[in-house]
Chains A and B, each alone.
Chain A
Amino acid sequence: MTFPRLVRLLYRNLVVNTDVGTIFFVVGLPTLYLVFFGYGYQSFLPGDKSYLLFLTPGILSFQTLIAGTVTGSMLWLDRRFGMLAQLLVGPFTRIQYLLGLILTSLILGIAGGLVMLVVSSVIVPHYIAPLGFGTMILAIIVGSICYGSIMLLISALVRSQNTYNSIQVSVIFLSNFASTVFYPYSENLPVPLRILFLANPLTYISNTVRDGYMGSYSALDLFQFALTSMFTLIMLLLSARAYFRAEIATT
């Protein structure tokens, strides 16, 4: 039985990302964040407020950034180590390869999110309503495509390894810590930080996932979701444009 080409590409992408390093990055790192940050900050909080309960949906949304990073690195490595050119002189088209990467980001984001949900349920048991679960998954889907696109854009534009690494680390840091993944947005923040928070898609993804997790929906969720989807679409188009214009191999 021969599977469609896109499925074959997707399978290949997932198989080459099952090395120990990537698995640690996808599952181990968020778990460490959850445990260390969760228990660390919990000790500061007075009364019965649960920081772990706040952090869990943040970490779930953080998975979208991780999934996007893995996907961006994949394009980078395939350009650097010749597999992109090899696939494109084989039975695949450029668009199939791009769709394969986007789907990889999607699957890694959802799978990573589900794993973290299981891990978090051991640390902090919490009931999630079906509608809340659906909201979370939807936000993770959009987030994974969003960060997949952002990282693909960087991979397609950058030619040197050092530049790529520097930009990638900066994007991860800024997205992660200038968002509501680890702490809530506050008007008391300095203005530049407030701007960063509000310009960061992970803030909205994190807010939506958190509202789904807590079962506290509002019209704001719909607005945030629409805003993130629109930004994602723009990023997807920009990354596709950069990818189609990029040289197949880096130097």
Chain B
Amino acid sequence: MTEPVSVSNLNHSYDGRRYVVEGVSFEVRKGEVFGLLGRNGAGKTTIIKVLTTLIKPTSGSVSVLGYDPVRDGKKIRERIGVVQQSESYDFTTVEKNFDLYGMLWGVDKSEARRRKEELISSFGLESIRKKNVADISGGEKRRLQVAREFMHDMDLLFLDEPTVGIDVIMRRELLNLIKKKAREGLTIIFTTHNLEEADYLCDRVAIIAKGRILALDTVENLKRIYTNRTAIELQVNEANSEALFKKLSEIYGSNLYVVDNTNAVISSEDPKDAIPTIIDLASKTGSHIEYISVRKSTLEDVLIQLLSGAS
């Protein structure tokens, strides 16, 4: 059976010179929450745009729900839901946004009314339902945008950073709702910067940098592979920090991630060995260590390690 999404050797360039997506291949299985993780400009949104038929890929083979996005875009769009990264709403009341969206999708009037009430309630939009979207906060707009997408039926949902601007409690409720939808059989592609979210929600994640997939696996496996190490967090005085970080990078290479000119994280298998080395180098370069700590690596460290390696 064909997987809901199958991407093979996808390449995309907007200007014909620089590729923003290069050699990307992955499959998304039915009913799974698949995460695309990466920094800004990594290529996540471009991949989503190709899959949702907004742009034609430069090359590569893509199948969404068994259809080719270039040839059968309309058939795909009838069966997908998309929450874009950028805002999208009509300048009318919150309630009317639901009504219009249901109408645009051809949802039966009584069913649309039922869904609207359910979504307004579950997304905590009751108090602002009569307000114009121009008068509500950024977080409320985002909630409206995500909630509105559930007005229609779909087989595949794209969520491009859906939780940006949403408060902690509502974010958790939203993630739970997405989890529930996935359990009911909905396939979800989810992009985020927030690793906690990916950890909580995604069955598998692809870590992307500069348009390429650096790692693709279940969250558990990624942690097992990359976090069988410890993270040494280091804070130094600004004076001579550059010299220290240079020396450290000669030893630790891509295992060193320089956060800014006073902070760095080193991924190490053996901190007992690493710490004396760091102290020794600090002394030799005339740097003053203000803070040093050792902790177990997290998914964030996996991402940092992979991304710093890529850069």
Contacts and interface: CB of A to CB of B under 8 A. Distances in A.
A151 to B, nearest CB: 18
A12 B100 contact: yes
Given A16-B90, A81-B87, A87 B104 contact: yes
B74 A81 contact: no
A134 B96 CA distance: 36
Nearest to A84: B88
Contact of B54 (A15, A19, A77, A89): A89
Contacts of A11: 103
A91 B106 contact: yes
Contact of B74 (A9, A86, A91): A91
A111 interface: no
Contacts of B86: 82, 85, 249
A195 interface: no
A86 B100 contact: no
Interface string A3-32: 101001101100110010000000000000
A125 B106 CA distance: 45
Contacts of A192: none
Contacts of A83: 88-90
Interface size class of B (residues with CB under 8 A): 20 to 34
B218 interface: no
A93 interface: yes
A5 B84 CA distance: 22
Interface stretch (B75-83, B116-124, B234-242, B299-307): B75-83
A81 B87 CA distance: 6
A19 B106 contact: no
B91 interface: yes
Given A15-B92, A16-B92, A89 B82 contact: yes
A93 B52 CA distance: 13
Contact of B105 (A88, A90, A93): A90
B105 A82 contact: no
A85 B106 CA distance: 18
A189 B80 CA distance: 60
Contacts of B82: 86, 89-90
A2 B54 contact: no
A248 interface: yes
B91 A88 contact: no
B206 to A, nearest CB: 21
Nearest to B48: A89
B279 to A, nearest CB: 49
A83 B100 CA distance: 12
Interface in B50-83: 52-54, 74, 77-78, 80, 82
Contacts of A87: 104
A93 B82 CA distance: 15
A108 B157 CA distance: 36
A3 B105 CA distance: 10
Contact of B104 (A9, A93, A249): A9
A83 B104 CA distance: 12
A3 B103 CA distance: 9
A8 B74 contact: no
Interface in B10-31: none
Contacts of A2: 106, 108
Contacts of A12: 90, 100, 103-104
Given A83-B90, A89-B84, A8 B104 contact: yes
B106 A8 contact: yes
A22 to B, nearest CB: 10
Given A81-B88, A83-B90, A85-B86, A15 B100 contact: yes
State the 9 A-B residue pairs at the shortest beta-carbon distance, nearest first: A82-B88, A86-B88, A2-B106, A89-B82, A89-B52, A16-B90, A82-B86, A91-B78, A82-B87
Interface of B: 52-54, 74, 77-78, 80, 82, 84, 86-92, 96, 100, 103-106, 108
Given A19-B91, A85-B86, A91-B106, 6 more contacts: A12-B90, A82-B89, A83-B89, A85-B54, A88-B53, A93-B74
13 contacts: A8-B103, A11-B103, A15-B96, A15-B100, A19-B91, A82-B87, A83-B88, A83-B89, A86-B88, A88-B77, A90-B77, A91-B77, A91-B104
